[in-house]
Amino acid sequence: MVDGYGVLQAFRRKAIALGAVFETADVRQVLCSAGRVAAVACADGRRFEADALLIAAGAWSAPLAAQLGFELPVRPRKRDVFVLASPAALPACPLVIDPSGVWFRPEGRGFIAGCPPRGEDVDDAPLEAIDHRLFEEVIWPALAPPRAGVRRALRATGAWAGYYEFNTFDQNGIVGQLPGCANAFVGCGFSGHGIQQAPAVARGPGRTDRARPP
């Protein structure tokens, strides 16, 4: 099991050690010249020239790709996560996903769990509107039977929500060069499993400086 934020920080520190420079800015406009991305303009007025552009803006990638004439099927879809306390000891328990979509995995001393929303899966629903009854009516009944040692002492101690960068076409990541724009690439739409794929995606097609294997 990985700590997603910890992994992100480790990659960030390594990139900085290798010479990468991180700037925090909200990209508003992608500027093109002769069929290539030339620069991006940011909300704070700054402009960054670009040899290449990688659109990896998670749930907010589609509006950027749209500026290059490409419609990405990636939308922000809210997912509630419940923090669970349970006396169950499940050494080496992996992420477990029920066929119904209910999932759980170890986190700290307990577990976290979630499932798809009930009803309409709307774009960009407010994060603070957590559906607490999801735990009582969907997740708890799925986990409370003696499955993998998780028993009736299971209770929710907290909840939070985030946006999946949801690929409405097939719920898989979209990776590669944008057709018709030689120096623009995308890496997004991982639909809630991006931490597992990010290291491979960063080494994948689109990098032009790597020698092809023999």
Binding site for ligand FAD (CB under 6 A): 26-27, 56-58, 60, 64, 79, 81, 95, 162-165, 188, 190, 192-196, 198
Cα separation, 161 vs 80, whole angstroms = 4
Which residue lies nearer to ligand FAD by CB, 111 or 164? 164
Nearest approach in angstroms of CB 174 to ligand FAD is: 10
Angle, vertex CA 1, rays to CA 173 and CA 155, nearest 5: 105
DSSP H or E run through 175: strand 174-177
Nearest approach in angstroms of CB 2 to ligand FAD is: 8
Nearest approach in angstroms of CB 11 to ligand FAD is: 10
Give the C-alpha distances (Å, rounded to integers) separating 38 from 30, 181, 205: 8, 11, 21
Which residue lies nearer to ligand FAD by CB, 3 or 153? 3
What long-range pairs does 95-103 form, CB within 8 A, spacing at least 24?
95/1, 96/148, 98/142, 100/138, 100/142, 102/138, 102/139, 102/142, 102/143
Which residue lies nearer to ligand FAD by CB, 82 or 140? 82
Q: What sign results for the dihedral spanned by CA atoms 30, 8, 18, 198?
A: negative
Give the C-alpha distances (Å, rounded to integers) separating 213 from 207, 210: 13, 9
Nearest approach in angstroms of CB 61 to ligand FAD is: 7
Which residue lies nearer to ligand FAD by CB, 116 or 162? 162
Q: Which stretches within the chain are classed as H helix? A: 4-17, 62-66, 133-134, 140-143, 194-202
Which residue lies nearer to ligand FAD by CB, 115 or 181? 115
Cα separation, 85 vs 135, whole angstroms = 13
Nearest approach in angstroms of CB 55 to ligand FAD is: 9
Nearest approach in angstroms of CB 22 to ligand FAD is: 11
Which residue lies nearer to ligand FAD by CB, 27 or 143? 27
Task: Check if the beta carbon of residue 169 is closer than 8 Å to that of residue 176.
Answer: no
